[in-house]
Amino acid sequence: MIHLQPDLPRILFIFSDTGGGHRSAAQAIIEAIQLEFPDRFDCQMVDIFRSYMPTPLKYAPEIYPPLSRMPELWELGYRASDGPRRKRLIDSATYPYISRALKRFIRENPCELFVSVHQMVNTPMLKALAGSATPFVTVVTDMVSTHAFWYDTRATKVIVPTQAAYQRGLCMGLRPEQMEVVGMPVAERFCQPLAEKKELRRHLNWDTNMPIVLLVGGGEGMGPLAKTARAINEAQLPISLVVVTGRNRQIKAELENLSWNIPAYVYGFVTQMPEFMRAADILVTKAGPGTISEAFIAQLPMILYSKMPGQEDGNVDFVVKEEAGIWAPTPGRVVAALRYWLEHPDAREKAVESCRRLARPQASRQIARILAAQVNVRYQEKVYADS
């Protein structure tokens, strides 16, 4: 059972560490609540798989990293489970196995509002909450290709990041007034005013005279990160390259020992990503929704070189259609895209303008206000009923 502060309305965030996006989304919203409503709410997070689910589901955080490195298998599972009918069949088959765990979770964690940032728990939780007056809000943390599991018509509200996710909700039977298009929740440190690039580069001890290309692969160093770095190095483009390998120590060691033809800076897991993005000129990244949203805010045009099939397909289409980036799924095409933007700065500047247009730096705070409104109504009803 989690520790709750007494006498404050409680908001419980349901997530799981199956990918970094769920945790970071919950943390960004909690931070926004604390900034918008200091000392007004008690916000808590629970990894529902690790803390409550029976075997083998409780090992989902450990299963995710190796599974994510098998894209064909991932895509098969994603597409085989998507759609209203398939969703109902899977829910009917799994709910009897997990219902006791969910009811224990609800019993041990009383609150004024449940907030889910993970698609797999929405329908089972709403089944377990049958008869409860506690509101349940879903914050969708996939950008465009949103799986059927995100949507349940019994949710109090579903907050979505894009118009495409909103349309998907309508197709899944949600009412228009049940959803709000807000954007992806992003930590406050990514939303600060942009500083002067040269000043940031001097602070980071980076080259101040050449374009900076930032190459990232997410927290686990996913995607063909090392191959792409080597291809950029061999092309000897007039750039400085910053590589962030995340927790992948093997790739970090490999790149640190590479014979570099260009100025290069290799990092492992970093906490200065907002500064890195603001100091860079081009981002080369996998098509994760959080990173894309952060790049929009940093006005950083991107080359997308990897994606999770199924859930990130729409992200690539969205970025390319909106002219904020280029899809380059091989190291050779990444080099070609970089060369194109270096030789055509007007095209790169157009991508910068597209990022500026698509940015939603206030999304986390807007979500915080929506949640606060839900809690205040619920809390007032509770106080009135108890008086």
Report d(CA 221, CA 335) in Å as an integer. 19
Helices assigned H by DSSP within 299-344: 313-321, 331-343
Report d(CA 126, CA 143) in Å as an integer. 23
At 66, which amino acid appears?
P
Please list the residue range(s) of the chain that carry CATH number 3.40.50.2000: 10-186+362-386, 192-358
**Residues belonging to the chain:** 387
- The whole-number pLDDT of residue 246 equals 86
- The whole-number pLDDT of residue 63 equals 82
Cross-sheet strand order for the sheet of 282-286: 264-267, 240-244, 212-216, 282-286, 302-306, 325-327
Q: Is 81 helix (H, G, I), strand (E, B) or coil?
A: helix
Per run of 10 residues, the mean pLDDT along the chain (length 387 residues) is 67 89 94 96 95 91 80 85 92 94 96 96 96 95 95 97 97 97 96 87 94 83 81 96 91 94 95 95 95 96 93 95 97 98 97 97 97 79 46
Domain 192-358: give its CATH architecture.
Answer: 3-Layer(aba) Sandwich (3.40)
Inter-residue contact 292 to 143 (CB < 8 Å) = yes
Report d(CA 156, CA 175) in Å as an integer. 11
- The whole-number pLDDT of residue 387 equals 44
Q: Which residues share a beta bridge with 285?
A: 304
Domain 10-186+362-386: give its CATH architecture.
Answer: 3-Layer(aba) Sandwich (3.40)
Inter-residue contact 326 to 304 (CB < 8 Å) = yes
| pTM of the entire predicted model | 0.91
Q: How far is CA 311 from the centre of its chain?
A: 12
Report d(CA 228, CA 215) in Å as an integer. 9
The three state secondary structure string of 275-287 is HHHHHCCEEEEEC
Q: Is 386 helix (H, G, I), strand (E, B) or coil?
A: helix
- Dihedral sign of CA atoms 267, 268, 271, 276 in order: positive
- The whole-number pLDDT of residue 75 equals 84
Report d(CA 163, CA 93) in Å as an integer. 32
| Torsion angle, alpha carbons of 327, 24, 270, 41, to 10 | 150
Report d(CA 129, CA 131) in Å as an integer. 6
Report d(CA 160, CA 367) in Å as an integer. 10
The three state secondary structure string of 344-382 is CHHHHHHHHHHHHHHCCCCHHHHHHHHHHHHHHHHHHHH
Q: Is 305 helix (H, G, I), strand (E, B) or coil?
A: strand
- Dihedral sign of CA atoms 230, 336, 338, 248 in order: negative
Helix (H) or strand (E) holding 181: strand 179-181
- The whole-number pLDDT of residue 62 equals 84
